[in-house]
Structure 1
Amino acid sequence: MLNTPDPPAAIPACSVVCEGRLFNLPDICCSASNCLLPSARAFAVQIIFNLLPFGQETKMKVYQTDESGVFLYAQDAAVLPYGAVLSPPPRCDAGFVAVWDRHGSIARTSPDFGSDKINLWEIVEDHRRDTLHLVNDGQQYVIGSDTDGNTYDGLGDVPAWLTTQPRPSVLHYWSGGAWVLDEQAQQDADAAAERVWRDAEIQRVTPLRDRHRDEVEQGIEPTLSAAEYAALLIYIQALRDWPASSDFPDAAGRPEIPVGIAAPA
């Protein structure tokens, strides 16, 4: 024990805080600048070191969050790390996460952030790993990006302008929470595709007609018989009339290829 002179009666009481613990030391020392007993202050320090041995730390369980407040992991710490909280997070089912102070009511740099006197945990849906699509055109959305002034971090309910459902085709539009086929657009697309087929088929068989005509004019025995040639002419005309048919554009109702005319490869 240190040898210290007896402190005068006029020395006021003082307090010492060490490792979060408060020690009142009346009539022993004073930390004021006008203290007359430096050896007495040394005596006080000796008392503190005797109470809490050098190197000893008081640890507590803390719960670390990321910049969005999402719980990451638990750890023991002597001081509260940045972004950590003292209240344990709730258990979550798959597809959900615990988020502290979801709406940012307390700044992360504030001394009140993470206090165990309040509980700001909230369980929210987690769509950060999901593929999301814009409902206006079906394009894939990048989490956190700005789209017409809207952003979504993947936490909480999926906003109305996004969906987890991929767009089946460009002929689908978003309505009532689902992709709906535009029937008129589908018919128009089918008709356009069928006209492309019709034009290609006429182009394919027309040389057969021209060859037959040339052979006849040159007095060469025709490759096609008279019946086959007549059927070919009927087929070409049927192709021209195909868009006006009641079966158009159903491919099942296409004009039948006549016998003796090879089908397209």
Structure 2
Amino acid sequence: MYAKWINDDQRFAFAVNDNGGVKITSKEWSLLLAGQSDGKMISKGAGDFPLLIDVVLDVPDSAVRERMWRDGELASVMWLRERHRDQVEIKADTTLSTDQFKELMVYMQALRDWPQSAEFPGIEHRPAALAWLSEQQKTAHAAH
């Protein structure tokens, strides 16, 4: 697993294949995602390594919370995109159908576009998660 800091977005991009970032273990990646789910923020540490920090907000800021939610959602599905791309690259049977992969890409783009939406940061207007996505995540966790 690799973690690359994206200055423009002030966030990390995680990838299974080398994306030009630092190498981290899958356990470290899992801990980062778990910490983010618990309300911590993934920040850039020494040597460009990702680290978890406490988020301190003086005033409840729904826009910040929604961006954190969005970042967590993107991070939680990147593995699925990477797995599909890897399976296509090695000409293996893919776990996702072509339609599912397209739906995943559209969902990820909707998450990226969410902060620019006129309805942002209204929780009720979040991009809707894909119905089949939770089953994929359960299957992946069961395999580990």
TM-score (norm. length: structure 1): 0.29
| Among 78, 81, 88, the residue aligned to 1:209 | 81
**Equivalence map 1:95-244=2 (5 Å):** 171=59, 189-244=61-116
**Cα deviation, residue 196, structure 1:** 0.5
Structure 2: stretches of 5+ with no match in the other structure: 1-57, 139-144
> Moved runs in structure 1, 4+ residues, more than 3 A?
none
Q: Could you say which structure has the higher strand fraction?
A: 1
Cα distance in 2 for residues equivalent to 1:211 and 1:201: 17
**Cα deviation, residue 221, structure 1:** 0.7
CA RMSD of aligned residues (A): 2.0
**Cα deviation, residue 220, structure 1:** 1.1
Percent same amino acid among aligned pairs? Answer: 41
Q: Could you say which structure has the higher helix fraction?
A: 2
Cα distance in 1 for residues equivalent to 2:71 and 2:134: 17
Cα shift readout 1:98-139 (whole Å, capped 9, x = no counterpart) = xxxxxxxxxxxxxxxxxxxxxxxxxxxxxxxxxxxxxxxxxx
Instruction: Look up the equivalent residue of 1:196 and give its one-letter code.
Output: M
Instruction: Look up the equivalent residue of 2:63 and give its one-letter code.
Output: A
Contact in 2 for aligned 1:247/1:253 (Cα 8 Å): yes
Local SS of the residue matching 1:249: coil
Task: Give the match for residue 261 of structure 1.
Answer: 133
**Cα deviation, residue 259, structure 1:** 3.0
Local SS of the residue matching 1:197: helix
Task: Give the match for residue 252 of structure 1.
Answer: 124
Cα distance in 2 for residues equivalent to 1:223 and 1:193: 32
Contact in 2 for aligned 1:228/1:259 (Cα 8 Å): no
Structure 1: stretches of 5+ with no match in the other structure: 1-169, 172-185
Larger radius of gyration: 1
Cα distance in 2 for residues equivalent to 1:235 and 1:255: 7
Local SS of the residue matching 1:262: helix
- State the number of aligned residues: 80
